[in-house]
């Protein structure tokens, strides 16, 4: 039987050419798999037809939008997952869901190998292959751009020579990856890290300099999961989409960073994640009201580690799973409403309410109704400072200053 290879197919030039390129280099049949994670653009049917037109023996498309929102974006939100404090893991969380569908398709179509279009310099190759190794240990991996010398020039020449049904003239100077959680833009003019991004780079967000009137929004959460916007119940996917529109219109969620890739390179990245950033801001503020202080402090550390693991392609790892259990446990009382104003590139919280709040008005107030016994503070401070006081006494004795 002819060997079969499942290819992660985007519909773009590189992976369209990869279908025939892999076929010629390996003699295998190629099955194209396109996964919808809310990237927008062409319909999946158009993409499917193109894959077949480029020589795929089968083309399989999966609508994974709700799965991606519920099982990947929501856990990222619960973790307040921001790699290096900035990046909401847009591409990093889409790879594992794509991997699931690739492995499923490999089983269904009897393939021995999975192929992807990543280069050898980025994180995504690692995320794909570590994921595939974990979910399908018997499957082999191949990356035509990295392993079969499929350069951009060769891709264009191949497409023209074979008359493939794909645009070769439209030259986008950037490498873009997008889904419902956000959009990542890199390379080209951005590689000079002093260059400010030009307006044409952005697609999910409008320029915040000339914003429309402020947009006040109330987001409701139940156990850390967003469940409603302005009192109207929605699925997480619908909520992310609505906030992408509303926060995007205000220019919220633009991020410009130099980030540490897993392969040891620092790289310039522009992200747009209006919905994700608005949601993470709201969620964090609700946690501030509902999570006990020590648990909250520890969770911040766990969330940071969680983001690093996910960034580093360890989505399916035991440690990531264990951290998920901790994070889920912290979310038990993260329920209630956050009101925020989206305006001029910012999402600013101005109200919160929760049945499970730890905010105690009678403890906090400086007005009448105060139940906090201030006389306890004096003794508390005496003991709280004791260890430092003893140490500084010793320093004085030994060092004489
Ligand atoms: N640097 C980001 C990450 O590693 C985004 C990568 C996006 N890929 C792309 N082809 N632009 O998660």
Residue 1: what pLDDT?
A: 84
Residue 189 to residue 155: CA distance in whole angstroms? 22
Decide if 4-171 and 176-291+333-353 have a common fold. no
Average pLDDT over residues 53-64: 96
Residue 148: what pLDDT?
A: 93
Domain boundaries, the chain: 4-171, 176-291+333-353, 361-399
pLDDT tens column, 170-188: 777 899 999 999 999 998 8
The answer to whether residue 4 scores a pLDDT higher than 90 is yes
Q: Is the CB of 269 under 6 A from ligand 1?
A: yes
pLDDT tens column, 244-296: 999 999 999 999 999 999 999 999 999 999 999 999 999 999 999 999 999 99
Q: Is the CB of 177 under 6 A from ligand 1?
A: yes
Neighbours of 258 (CB within 10 A): 11
Residue 37: what pLDDT?
A: 98
Considering only 28-37, 164-173, 317-326, 391-400, which range has the smallest mean pLDDT? 164-173
CA separation, residue 302 to residues 16, 24, 30, 358, 370 (Å): 40, 47, 41, 21, 35
150 with 177: CB under 8 angstroms? Answer: no
Average pLDDT over residues 350-364: 97
Task: Quote the ligand 1 centre to 255 CA distance (angstroms).
Answer: 13
Residue 178: what pLDDT?
A: 97
Residue 397: what pLDDT?
A: 96
Cβ within 8 Å of residue 190, ≥6 positions away: 174, 197, 201, 268, 270
DSSP 72: I
Q: Is the CB of 287 under 6 A from ligand 1?
A: no
Task: Quote the ligand 1 centre to 277 CA distance (angstroms).
Answer: 17
Query: Class of 4-171 per CATH?
Result: alpha beta
Name the residue among 90, 83, 277 with its Cα closest to residue 182. Answer: 90
- Distance between terminal CA atoms of the chain? 84
To test the pocket of ligand 1, the residue of 123, 127, 174, 315 to mutate (highest count of ligand atoms within 8 Å of its CB) is: 123
Average pLDDT over residues 92-120: 97
Residue 163 to residue 67: CA distance in whole angstroms? 36
3-class secondary structure, 70: helix
DSSP 188: G
253 with 276: CB under 8 angstroms? Answer: yes
Average pLDDT over residues 95-109: 98
pLDDT tens column, 22-44: 999 999 999 999 999 999 999 99
The answer to whether residue 399 scores a pLDDT higher than 90 is yes
To test the pocket of ligand 1, the residue of 93, 121, 122 to mutate (highest count of ligand atoms within 8 Å of its CB) is: 122
To test the pocket of ligand 1, the residue of 10, 89, 178, 186 to mutate (highest count of ligand atoms within 8 Å of its CB) is: 186
Q: Look over the chain and give the mean of its residue pLDDT values, rounded to a whole number.
A: 96
Residue 169: what pLDDT?
A: 81
The minimum-distance atom of ligand 1 relative to the CA of 311 is 12
pLDDT tens column, 75-89: 999 999 999 999 999
Give the whole-number percent of the chain exceeding pLDDT 70: 100
Asked if the 176-291+333-353 domain carries CATH number 3.90.1260.10, the reply is yes
Q: Is the CB of 176 under 6 A from ligand 1?
A: yes
Q: Is the CB of 92 under 6 A from ligand 1?
A: yes
List active site positions: 14, 95, 124, 175
Task: Quote the ligand 1 centre to 245 CA distance (angstroms).
Answer: 22
Residue 62 to residue 45: CA distance in whole angstroms? 11
Q: Show the CA angle centred on residue 138, arms to residues 134 and 142, nearest 5°.
A: 85
Task: Quote the ligand 1 centre to 44 CA distance (angstroms).
Answer: 22
pLDDT tens column, 139-160: 999 999 999 999 989 999 999 9
Helices 90-109 and 293-311 meet at what angle, rounded to 10? Answer: 60
Q: Is the CB of 47 under 6 A from ligand 1?
A: no
Residue 90: what pLDDT?
A: 98
Task: Quote the ligand 1 centre to 76 CA distance (angstroms).
Answer: 16
Cβ within 8 Å of residue 272, ≥6 positions away: 182, 183, 185, 202, 203, 204, 205, 248, 253, 254, 255
Q: Is the CB of 37 under 6 A from ligand 1?
A: no
Q: Is the CB of 186 under 6 A from ligand 1?
A: yes
Superfamily of segment(s) 361-399: Single helix bin (1.20.5.470)
Buried b (16+ CB within 10 A) or exposed e, 285-317: bbbebbbeeeeeeebeebbbebbbbbbbbbbbe
Residue located nearest, by CA, to atom 11 of ligand 1? 176
Residue 161: what pLDDT?
A: 94
pTM above 0.75, yes or no: yes
Confidence of residue 400 (pLDDT cuts 50, 70, 90): confident
Would you give the distance in Å from CA 79 to the centre of its chain?
11
Provide DSSP, 35-55. Answer: EESS--SS-HHHHHHHHHHTT
Residue located nearest, by CA, to atom 1 of ligand 1? 269
Q: Show the CA angle centred on residue 278, arms to residues 275 and 281, nearest 5°.
A: 145
Confidence of residue 168 (pLDDT cuts 50, 70, 90): confident
Residue 293: what pLDDT?
A: 98
Kindly give the pairing relationship between strand 113-115 and strand 140-142.
parallel
Residue 107: what pLDDT?
A: 97
56 with 31: CB under 8 angstroms? Answer: yes
Residue 139 to residue 165: CA distance in whole angstroms? 30
183 with 272: CB under 8 angstroms? Answer: yes
Residue located nearest, by CA, to atom 8 of ligand 1? 177
26 with 143: CB under 8 angstroms? Answer: no
Cβ within 8 Å of residue 365, ≥6 positions away: none
Considering only 93-97, 150-154, 236-240, 378-382, which range has the smallest mean pLDDT? 150-154
Confidence of residue 103 (pLDDT cuts 50, 70, 90): very high
């Amino acid at each position: 039987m002819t060997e079969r290879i499942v290819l992660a197919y985007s519909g773009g030039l590189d992976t369209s050419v990869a279908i025939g390129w892999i076929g010629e280099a390996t003699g295998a049949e190629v099955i194209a798999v396109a996964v919808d994670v809310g990237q927008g653009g062409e319909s999946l049917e158009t993409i499917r037809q193109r894959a077949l037109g480029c020589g795929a023996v089968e083309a399989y498309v999966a609508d994974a939008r709700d799965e991606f929102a519920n099982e990947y974006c929501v856990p990222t939100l619960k973790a307040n997952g921001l790699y290096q404090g900035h990046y909401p893991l847009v591409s990093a969380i889409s790879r594992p869901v794509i991997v699931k569908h690739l492995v499923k398709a490999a089983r269904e179509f009897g393939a021995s190998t999975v192929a992807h279009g990543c280069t050898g310099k980025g994180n995504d190759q690692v995320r794909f292959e570590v994921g595939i190794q974990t979910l399908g240990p018997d499957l082999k991996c191949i990356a035509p751009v990295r392993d079969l010398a499929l350069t951009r020039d060769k891709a264009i020449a191949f497409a023209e020579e074979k008359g493939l049904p794909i645009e070769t003239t439209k030259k986008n100077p950037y490498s873009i990856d997008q889904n419902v959680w956000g959009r990542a833009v890199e390379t080209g003019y951005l590689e000079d890290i002093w260059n400010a991004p030009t307006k044409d780079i952005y697609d999910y967000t409008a320029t915040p300099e000339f914003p429309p009137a402020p947009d006040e929004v109330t987001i409701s959460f139940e156990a850390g999961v967003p469940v409603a916007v302005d009192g109207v119940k929605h699925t997480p996917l619908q909520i992310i989409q609505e906030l992408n529109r509303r926060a995007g219109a205000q220019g919220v969620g633009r991020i410009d960073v130099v980030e540490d890739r897993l392969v040891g390179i620092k790289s310039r990245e522009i992200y747009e994640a209006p919905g994700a950033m608005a949601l993470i801001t709201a969620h964090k503020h609700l946690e501030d009201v509902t999570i006990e202080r020590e648990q909250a402090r520890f969770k911040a550390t766990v969330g940071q580690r969680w983001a690093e693991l996910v960034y580093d392609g360890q989505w399916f790892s035991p440690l990531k799973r264990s951290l998920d259990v901790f994070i889920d446990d912290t979310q038990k009382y993260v329920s209630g409403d956050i009101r925020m104003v989206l305006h001029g590139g910012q999402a600013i919280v101005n109200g919160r309410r929760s049945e499970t709040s730890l905010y105690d008005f009678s403890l906090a107030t400086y007005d009448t109704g105060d139940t906090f016994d201030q006389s306890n503070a004096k003794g508390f401070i005496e003991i709280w400072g004791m260890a430092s006081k003893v140490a500084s006494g010793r320093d004085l004795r030994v060092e004489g200053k």
